[in-house]
Amino acid sequence: MLRDQDEWAANLAPDAPSLIADQFHPDVWAAASPLWDTGQYRVAVGQAAVSLSAHIAKKAASPLSERELVAQVFSPSEPSPGQVRLHVPGDKSSRTWKSRQEGLHLLAQGAFAADEWPEQVALGTWPSCP
């Protein structure tokens, strides 16, 4: 049994991708990593969100931040004068494009809703992830 333990683990492991935090975008991981190693996962995710917000604001040349910023720049609608939109590539008249853009819009807003999280939730790997 002990001799086959590694084979059992490999063959009985869930067939799911694993997420490695240090493979996130450099702007995100550079902001989070100093806190991540101390177990301050919620604070690390918060710092990553602040860094991501600054990156998006710079790209969109927007004075807004966090949820207000992403609600505006990732909106599927056309921008009003003086606003910038960051849209996924593709045919804007297709249902697929609309679905992808709406998903990005909602996901981006949700990224700025945070609470005290264990590591699995912060990585998005816990089945009951908020």
Is the whole-model pTM more than 0.75? no
Within a domain: 1: no
Please identify which residue in the block is written with the tokens 């004075």: 63
- Assess if residue 35 is contained within a domain: yes
Position 128 in a domain? no
> How far is residue 21 from each of residues 62, 84, 108, measured CA to CA in Å?
28, 30, 18
In a domain, residue 112? The reply is yes
Range of the domain at 41: 25-120
Chain-centroid distance, C-alpha 1:
41
Inside any domain, residue 9: no
Tokens of 3: 């001799």
For residue 125, what pLDDT is reported?
A: 64
For residue 95, tell me if it sits in a domain.
Answer: yes
CB atoms within 10 A of CB 50: 15
Number of domains in the chain: 1
Looking up tokens 């067939």 gives 15
Task: Encode pLDDT of 8-21 as tens digits.
Answer: 777 776 666 667 87
pLDDT number for residue 128: 54
What mean pLDDT is reported for the chain? 84
CA dihedral defined by 50, 53, 54, 57, rounded to 10 degrees? -160
pLDDT in tens, 53-78: 999 999 999 999 988 999 999 999 99
Q: Is residue 130 part of a domain?
A: no
Say if residue 97's pLDDT is above 90.
yes
HSE value, Cβ hemisphere, 13 Å, CA-based, for 106:
5
Decide if 68 is inside a domain. yes
Write the pLDDT tens digit of every residue in 30-49.
999 999 889 898 888 889 88
The 3 state secondary structure assigned to 8-46 is HHHHHCCCCCCCCHHHCCHHHHHHHHHHHCCCCHHHHHH
